[in-house]
Structure 1
Amino acid sequence: MFFFSLLLLLAPSLAAQDDASPTFRIESKLVNLFVNVTDQNGAIVGGLNKEDFKVLEDGRSQEIAVFERQSEMPLDLILAVDTSASTFKDRTRERDASKAFLHGLVRPQDQIAIIEFATYVNLLVPFTNKASQLEHGLNSLKGGDATALYDAIYLASDSLAKQHDRKVLVLVSDGGDTAKSTTYQQALEHALRGEVMIYSVIDVPIEASAGRDIGGEHALITLAEQTGGKSFYVEGGNLEKAFSKVSEDLRTQYLLGYYPHNQMRNSSFHRISVTIPRAASSDFMVRYKAGYYSEAAEQQPKRRVPMD
């Protein structure tokens, strides 16, 4: 009797479901793009509006749902300092310039961590906004023989991926990876999956060519370009100037967000294009990450040493 009564109660809703066509709803993840715009002379272009930008994903137009000018979104930033043997002569300069950079950058809403990388990757300071803790960590820089650059990127991206704000990795190094653990492609993919922007501060030997790792420098430049960050060479030992450029770049970004639609199926990587249609392509330099990965599994490194 109870079962029969229940059927009578459900009958109207079941009939309505039969008459109506089935409805499917797909939840799209918001894709955030941090975009920098400069003119032909390298000057920052401010004052642009949402309507000035056009976003394509895999060649398909996307509607901009979120727009902010000169984003004040908090920073989750990891400063990664190369302490391998080749950087020993610059250790004091790196430490002092890093202190000035962090003092000028950190705000109450920001979270900064510090790691060093040589043969292994070591966590010196976990995420904090306390300048005294950051300074203490920089005073404890040690050294090592090899350069685990790609391990540092992979592990830092791992840590940043768990954060919720603008995710930035600032690398201070003079060249490439000699640890041969994580590969370049694995490091880049992990950074893109973690939505991490890489800023490379390249501090090469003073001598014209002795000791330089040109391939390593190119890798640092490309990592920055692909993730929407930027690379800066330290000119004449002026590390402070390079850090100042990083800080300026982070403070003058546009935030563009969209929910992907008409998405290309069976693609693990979605390539992004951002343009300013009203201007000639040569008028502005528009910088942003190359794209993002879907949820498909990534290739794992053969060996990865966790940060202490």
Structure 2
Amino acid sequence: MLIACYSSAISAQDDGEIIKVESSLVVLNATIIDDKGISVSGLTQSKFKIFEDGKEQEITFFEAEKTPFAAVILLDTSGSMETRVSLARSAAINFLDGLRIEDVASIYNFDSKVSLVQDFSNSRDIAQNVFELKAKGMTVLN
């Protein structure tokens, strides 16, 4: 979303006409999520109001972009996750299912060390070795 606010000043002098114009353009990016944290798309300019210091500003340009992004999924496979690692895998699958085709994701796991499971890809199929991950070891947080 692009917002423009314009102010101008014009002055004249006896020895010739001088026109001074000042303008400011404020660019504002917004990501909209619902009460469940899910990204909301398809909103139009009429759904937005912008305020500065309590005063509504005019939106002179509005564009809804769907820019791709890269995400890293980090799965805790330490011993403390033994009874919950399947829940973590399910959450990763749900997250991947919500991505668009232009988005990419990679997957790492960690216990006593951090390991790459799947490099960045736009594939939504989790590599088979993700399902073979077992909870073990200590969690190293340093």
Identify the TM-score tier after normalising by the shorter chain: 0.5 to 0.7
Distance 2:46 2:18 in 1: 38
Higher relative contact order structure (alpha carbons within 8 Å, sequence separation ≥ 6): 1
Q: Which of 75, 85, 90 in structure 2 is aligned with 1:81?
A: 75
Alignment of 1:1-308 (within 5 A): 30-37=27-34, 49-56=44-51, 61-64=56-59, 65-68=61-64, 72-95=66-89, 97-98=90-91, 100-101=93-94, 104-132=97-125, 134-136=126-128, 138-139=130-131, 141=133, 143-146=136-139, 179=141
Distance 2:113 2:57 in 1: 42
Q: 1:48 to 1:106 in 2, by over 3 A?
A: closer
Distance 2:25 2:42 in 1: 32
2:122 partner letter: N
Alignment correspondent of 1:189: none
Distance 1:52 1:131 in 2: 32
Distance 2:20 2:104 in 1: 46
2:80 partner letter: S
Which SS does the other structure have where 1:138 is aligned? helix
TM-superposition CA deviations, 1:196-222 (whole Å, max 9, x none): xxxxxxxxxxxxxxxxxxxxxxxxxxx
Q: 1:77 to 1:46 in 2, by over 3 A?
A: closer
TM-score, normalised with respect to structure 2: 0.53
Distance 2:85 2:124 in 1: 20
Q: 1:137 to 1:57 in 2, by over 3 A?
A: farther
- CA RMSD of superposed structures (Å): 4.1
Larger of the two Rg values belongs to structure: 2
How far off its partner does 1:31 sit? Answer: 3.0
Q: 1:84 to 1:36 in 2, by over 3 A?
A: same
The 8 Å contact of residues 114 and 137 in structure 1, kept in 2 or not, is answered as: no
1:85 partner letter: G
**Matched residue count:** 120
Greater fraction helix? 1
Distance 2:58 2:113 in 1: 44
TM-superposition CA deviations, 1:91-118 (whole Å, max 9, x none): 23433x2464256334432211212244
The 8 Å contact of residues 110 and 129 in structure 1, kept in 2 or not, is answered as: yes
Q: 1:26 to 1:127 in 2, by over 3 A?
A: farther
TM-score, normalised with respect to structure 1: 0.29
What fraction of aligned residue pairs are identical, expressed as a percent? 24
Greater fraction strand? 2
Distance 2:41 2:103 in 1: 23
Which SS does the other structure have where 1:112 is aligned? strand
The 8 Å contact of residues 99 and 138 in structure 1, kept in 2 or not, is answered as: no
Alignment correspondent of 2:14: none
